[in-house]
Amino acid sequence: DDDGDDDDDGGGGDDEENQLSQRAKKAAERKQKISLALARSTLHKLHWLRVVLDEAHAIKDRRCSTAQAVFALAADYRWCLSGTPLQNRVGELYSLVQFLRVDPYAYYFCKVDGCSCKCREYRFDDEYRKCLYCGHTPLQHYSLFNRDVVNPIRKFGYVGAGRNGFLTLKRDVLDKVLLRRTKAGRADEMVLPPKVVTIEANFLDEREHDFYQAIYTQSVAEFGAYVQAGTLLNNYAHIFDLLTRLRQATDHPYLVLHSKRAEVDDQFSAAAKAAASSSGMDSTRLGIVCGLCFEDSDDAVRTACGHLFCKGCVEDYMASAAESVRVVCPTCSQPLSVDLTAAAVPAGGASDGGTRGRPLHKGILSRLDLKAFQTSTKMEALMEALHNMLERAPAAKAIVFSQFVSFLDLMEHRLHLGGVKVVKLFGGMSVAARDAVLRSFREDAAVTVILISLKAGGVALNLTVASHIFLMDPWWNPAAEYQAIDRAHRLGQTKPIRAVRFVVRSTVEERILRLQDKKRLVFEGTVGGDAGSLSQLSEEDLRFLFQN
């Protein structure tokens, strides 16, 4: 494994001695750990005719233990199956390229004239001073994929050398190894019912608008300070936090006022609490708390530096980072390293998976005065949509997705008040509890709605019993929304599908939709065959999100 970062094709810097020492230490520790694990693995003692990775994008972080394990499998033939091979960063494709052993882009080479060194992984001595194959130094080696694809795109965008990198990725890599099949292309064979996706855009009511504007004004001021100081991208973790607050405020002010963070950080919500007071919004106020969304986390993963985050939040955080940003831990600012395929960190016990009686999930409802419960624009929009659905088809069922578990809790309470029977699916549930929830939704005619965390339930579910999908908040990565809708629109579905994406007008959500369009161009430009551009949240994008 190359122990450098993805933006490194083998060059050095002023502190290269330090870097070499750190790389050597990290490489030795990781390789020892992996070697011990592989030595005990039955799968790695066999030589396979063919290895097929389903949901292959799960190995997009080439440094995670799962990616390292599949790289080490011995096989004659290798396949990768994925609906979203390119989600966020061009560098993520390198894991698939390496697993498939795409020649020459899966290999490292030596820069020295006449040296024929070519290897799938760096092999240096214990002091990280010389290559075990050719004897040259690490700084004289480079990753061809990084040199010809990733770095030009990162440094120049989609002009000049960046455009050449984009064309190299498409023509020299993907066009040679990619076989794409779409629903549209196989429509005659699949015989799927029609699918209609619409956007329902609403304005916040006066109280919510005042609250949102208070949060927005505070966020713009902090953002402007970073711009003026020239440290915008150096403070990406905090900017992501500002954006998360704005997104939560469009769902319901409670998500900000009664978050776990509000209990420990009075300063962060001072302006919001003032707005809540003036607008009549109540601002009174065990498990693992995510360091990004500050909600109880049911699917927590631990970073290499020891901090805990929702798996979906970490994916979201990394997804929104620009190619040029060195992604760091939001808590301690160390380089971020996390195995997203690892089992969730236990919160101290199992949940029964039902919609009540979950003592270990001390969610937002436990911090509210439910007698004074106030609804929100999005909640009422959902209630109206469900009412219309049941008027048209009394037996219809719906899937409701949100990225925020606390918002699912609030919606569950509102639906109960409205007489709607619901079940809920979220990360961290035991297999038995998860199966019980899904069985209840499929078989109990009285259960109308299933609430699902988009972080935990967007993939690997078959919910063809539902004919309506409601996406309560836009996701940075549009591919996650496509996959969520496809939980119902798939083989076995006999009813027309209606999907509604709820968005609040004149808020950050409208701008997120426009940024999603960029990512669609990423996918179509590389995987689909159309010319396009690729971007995450660049400095220009961040300015756009916070502009007045």
Same-domain pairing of 121 and 227: no
Mapped onto helix, strand or coil, the DSSP state of residue 209 is helix
Is 353 among the domain residues?
no
Question: How many separate domains does the chain show?
Answer: 3
Phi, psi of 421, deg, nearest 5: -85, 130
* Containing structural domain, residue 84: 16-177
Same-domain pairing of 297 and 412: no
Same-domain pairing of 394 and 268: no
Over residues 428-436, mean pLDDT? 84
pLDDT digits (tens, 9 = 90+) for 192-228: 888 999 999 999 999 999 999 999 998 989 888 888 8
pLDDT digits (tens, 9 = 90+) for 482-519: 888 888 888 888 899 999 999 999 999 998 898 787 77
Calpha distance 100→19 (Å, rounded): 30
- CA angle in degrees (0–180, nearest 5) for 376-476-509: 35
**Boundary residue ending a domain (320, 342, 362):** 320
Calpha distance 393→123 (Å, rounded): 63
Give pLDDT, residue 137: 87
Same-domain pairing of 259 and 231: yes
**8 A C-beta contact, residue 441 and residue 447:** yes
Would you say residue 40 has pLDDT above 70? yes
Is 343 among the domain residues?
no
**8 A C-beta contact, residue 168 and residue 175:** no
Is 182 among the domain residues?
no
Give pLDDT, residue 12: 46
Q: Which of 253, 200, 512 is CA-nearest to residue 407? A: 253
Same-domain pairing of 225 and 193: no
pLDDT digits (tens, 9 = 90+) for 118-141: 988 877 877 778 888 899 988 888
Mapped onto helix, strand or coil, the DSSP state of residue 531 is coil
pLDDT digits (tens, 9 = 90+) for 286-306: 356 777 776 666 677 888 777
Q: E strand or H helix at 53, and its extent?
A: strand 47-53
Q: Which of 188, 6, 183, 177 is CA-nearest to residue 81? A: 177
- State the CATH number of the domain containing residue 126: 3.40.50
Is 335 among the domain residues?
no
Same-domain pairing of 56 and 103: yes
Same-domain pairing of 414 and 539: yes
Whats the size of the chain, residue-wise?
A: 548
In the chain, % of residues over pLDDT 90: 36
Same-domain pairing of 193 and 213: no
Cis geometry, peptide bond prior to residue 194 (ω within 30 degrees of 0): no
Same-domain pairing of 191 and 171: no
Same-domain pairing of 254 and 193: no
Calpha distance 247→227 (Å, rounded): 21
What single DSSP character describes residue 278?
A: H
Looking at per-residue confidence, does 249 or 285 come out higher? 249
Is 363 among the domain residues?
no
Same-domain pairing of 72 and 128: yes
Is 349 among the domain residues?
no
Same-domain pairing of 540 and 456: yes
Over residues 261-280, mean pLDDT? 53
**Boundary residue ending a domain (320, 342, 360):** 320
Give pLDDT, residue 162: 80
Is 157 among the domain residues?
yes
Calpha distance 533→282 (Å, rounded): 45
The region, left, alpha or beta by phi > 0 then psi within -120 to 50, assigned to residue 520 is alpha
